[in-house]
Structure 1
């Protein structure tokens, strides 16, 4: 395996090449500045004025005469590397979403950058054009990474299922992830990371290049955490078969369509049922119920993603059992009838933590309010994220 790259300086401080020009176009301009640029076998010669007046002069290996022609695609300028970078930066500034990207590691450029416009992935990466990649996410809470090792173990399992070799060994990957968060200075947010079959070509199989890649991005959400109860519906989008549902791959089109279906129906998410009609999971979270007998019940993990947050909640629930606030906690097949008749229903995941479900397909769950067990489990999870044992909290060396 490859050795861990040196991360002493962010790549944004170590540019490999520097381009200088004497004429700069404004961002969004349709004109190409006056300069000569290589263009395959010929060169591009720019006349002063608009791109419509640009002339292309091509050479020939058969000693043919040079032929002048006018480019009429005035809205498609040919950009230099520096111009493209400027436009990427402008795009980031003008299209900021609800998340801020503070740092990125890429094994392709072998370092960390804190420039959002440089946080890119090669277009020929097998993860981009074939969906051949896996990912995972770990929360950052008060300067600690929460359950990093648990999520790291899961992405390595997913990579093995997806036949993606590791670019580094587990400890080196762990070190890279921690250093990326450290470089970001983020104390509250999330770390998302990917293992990909890597770039090389656009073929179906990556065997011709077989150079896996690792990417990681530190994300800071701009919206406050919301624990208010939500409505869900039953998804009509077919869920992935177990081979793919148990693997956290980037193939999330069914998940996206399921989420969109929920939004179109005024719901937060849609819940999947497996091929036998049992309750499975949400598009990016697990589900759990509190039965009429005051027992915490979760669907089996054999056909769905093995949620790190869900498993941690099962462990924390034992505290409620010991205090008599829960009768027990277990996993089992759960029917829709059992779920809709439950005293409480909740969504579990790194993005939602523990969130109450008040309505399912217009059916009121319990008394239609956030239940006491759901709230107690949320409080236990937040406490665990702030002051849990070393097995779940990894300090970040800023």
Structure 2
């Protein structure tokens, strides 16, 4: 793995090992911040505008004033890839917090802290080709999941349970209604129609989710935003999840039950190809047709 040396911090580029913040940093002490993860393919951002827009929406929702404009951030993110000579597949992590100040629950009068860094991220080709498994868990998160905040402990615990069970994801549900997963949006396919939870405060409004909706419409795939039950999930013809790191990932087993014939279904594969073409991924012939 390439070690990328430069981190964007407060609109300056510094060596990753020299980046420090005071111990009284509100992201550290309160989880008082927001973040984004942007995918990079062949050295170029994918859905950057959507991610930047969502970062600003999340910051506004929690009353953090970001120390830059969207245009300034856009220019700096392009420079971040250039500074690190990124030409392959990667991800960029961005984090903004309310700042550093003496610990107090009320907002301090300080400037927000911000940093962004890049890491290599190879595509999960084997998983995309063959599908993955998932477990079911109650959704124990707060009621404002549309904010991409740093308060991720319930997500972390759910993802760890999935890992301990040899699964890729944990599918979350409230009162038997499926919301999303620990780190991705979820969809079912029934009789050729895609269903996914509507954009309410109970789910993250995924950037890839938004693009998949567009791609489905372009390919004349019926796409319905409506909550579905755990029973409907288990009876689905196909199940898949999306995120910047998972792309369009088929779920072929949930708990001990096979979904469909236990292989990625035709609608999922069609959307995988549409996503890959939209992202200008150079070689996606490994996917099933």
Q: Normalised by the size of structure 2, how large is the TM-score?
A: 0.90
How far apart are 1:222 and its partner, in Å? 5.8
How far apart are 1:139 and its partner, in Å? 1.0
Tell me how far apart the structure 2 counterparts of residues 362 and 102 of structure 1 sit (CA, whole Å). 44
Q: How does 1:127-206 map to 2 (within 5 A)?
A: 127-187=27-87, 188-206=89-107
Larger deviation: 116-125 or 336-345?
116-125
Q: How does 1:260-339 map to 2 (within 5 A)?
A: 260-274=160-174, 276-291=175-190, 293-302=191-200, 303-321=202-220, 326=221, 328-339=222-233
Q: Normalised by the size of structure 1, how large is the TM-score?
A: 0.66
Tell me how far apart the structure 2 counterparts of residues 367 and 183 of structure 1 sit (CA, whole Å). 47
Q: How does 1:347-386 map to 2 (within 5 A)?
A: 347-386=241-280
Larger deviation: 352-361 or 224-233?
224-233
* Equivalent of residue 229 in structure 1, options 131, 136, 141: 131
> What corresponds to 1:214 in structure 2?
114
Give 1 or 2: higher strand fraction: 2
Tell me how far apart the structure 1 counterparts of residues 232 and 164 of structure 2 sit (CA, whole Å). 26
Counterpart of 2:58 in 1: which secondary structure?
helix
List runs of 5+ in structure 1 lacking aligned partners: 1-97, 388-398
How far apart are 1:204 and its partner, in Å? 2.4
How far apart are 1:277 and its partner, in Å? 2.2
How far apart are 1:301 and its partner, in Å? 1.8
Q: Is contact 1:167–1:211 with CA below 8 Å preserved after alignment? A: yes
Larger relative contact order (C-alpha < 8 A, sep ≥ 6)?
2
Tell me how far apart the structure 1 counterparts of residues 152 and 195 of structure 2 sit (CA, whole Å). 26
Counterpart of 1:377 in 2: which secondary structure?
helix
Structure of larger gyration radius: 1
Q: Is contact 1:136–1:193 with CA below 8 Å preserved after alignment? A: yes
Counterpart of 2:279 in 1: which secondary structure?
helix
List runs of 5+ in structure 2 lacking aligned partners: 282-289
Tell me how far apart the structure 1 counterparts of residues 45 and 262 of structure 2 sit (CA, whole Å). 34
Stretches of 4+ aligned residues off by more than 6 angstroms: none
Counterpart of 1:314 in 2: which secondary structure?
helix
Tell me how far apart the structure 2 counterparts of residues 371 and 120 of structure 1 sit (CA, whole Å). 47
The alignment covers a number of residue pairs equal to 277
